[in-house]
Amino acid sequence: MAGRALADLRRELHALGMTTEERDVFLTRSGDPMLSLAPGLIVWAGSEWFRWIGERNRWRYHTTGDPAGAARLVRRVYERL
């Protein structure tokens, strides 16, 4: 499930002009996928939530049911790096 969520997020990021490659995808010890977009910007995909560190170094969460919304939020952080 988390793998599918990450694939959906990558598709939505691509639609926004942010391409990702397979080499950007890693697995946590528990097997959850994560996407490394830039130094300091890693998105974890769980079964229900995407999470990343956003503005003011605070955790941000967004439901995996809305990958387009998550992609827009992640893109904002990416553009500020």
Q: What confidence tens digit (pLDDT) does each residue in 6-36 have?
A: 999 999 999 999 989 999 999 999 888 999 9
User: What does the alpha-carbon distance between residue 32 and residue 56 come to, in Å, rounded to a whole number?
Assistant: 25
In total, how many domains does the chain have?
1
Query: What is the model's pLDDT at position 41?
Result: 94
pTM (2 d.p.) = 0.92
Q: What percent of the chain has pLDDT over 90?
A: 80
> Which range of residues forms the domain containing residue 66?
2-80
C-alpha 40, offset from chain centre: 12
Query: What is the model's pLDDT at position 49?
Result: 95
User: What does the alpha-carbon distance between residue 9 and residue 12 come to, in Å, rounded to a whole number?
Assistant: 5
